[in-house]
Amino acid sequence: MGVSECLVYLANFEKGFAQNYSLHNEKNGVYIFVIKGSVETANTLLEERDGLGILETDQLSIRAQNDAEFLLMEVSMTI
């Protein structure tokens, strides 16, 4: 059995703040879960308690629509 890596970030963005996130490995995916506020990423608006999984990308842009707190988890998509 191989070892899988998971990177977890807790982010707090003020309204209007935007940041690009570059994945550490092209075989990884990203899951975003909004704790409070709202963010937009991958042309999708995520509000409190929304989550989104994103595959087959090497970078994504995240913009806070309101003051926001969210988790970003980068996980291996290989077994």
pLDDT at residue number 72 = 98
Segment 14-35 mean pLDDT: 96
Is the predicted pLDDT of residue 1 greater than 60, yes or no?
no
pLDDT at residue number 3 = 57
Is the pLDDT higher at 39 or at 76?
39
Range with lowest mean pLDDT among 3-7, 35-39, 57-61, 73-77: 3-7
Dist. CA 63–CA 60, nearest whole Å: 10
Show the CA angle centred on residue 53, arms to residues 78 and 68, nearest 5°: 135
- 76, containing H or E segment: strand 68-76
Dist. CA 4–CA 72, nearest whole Å: 17
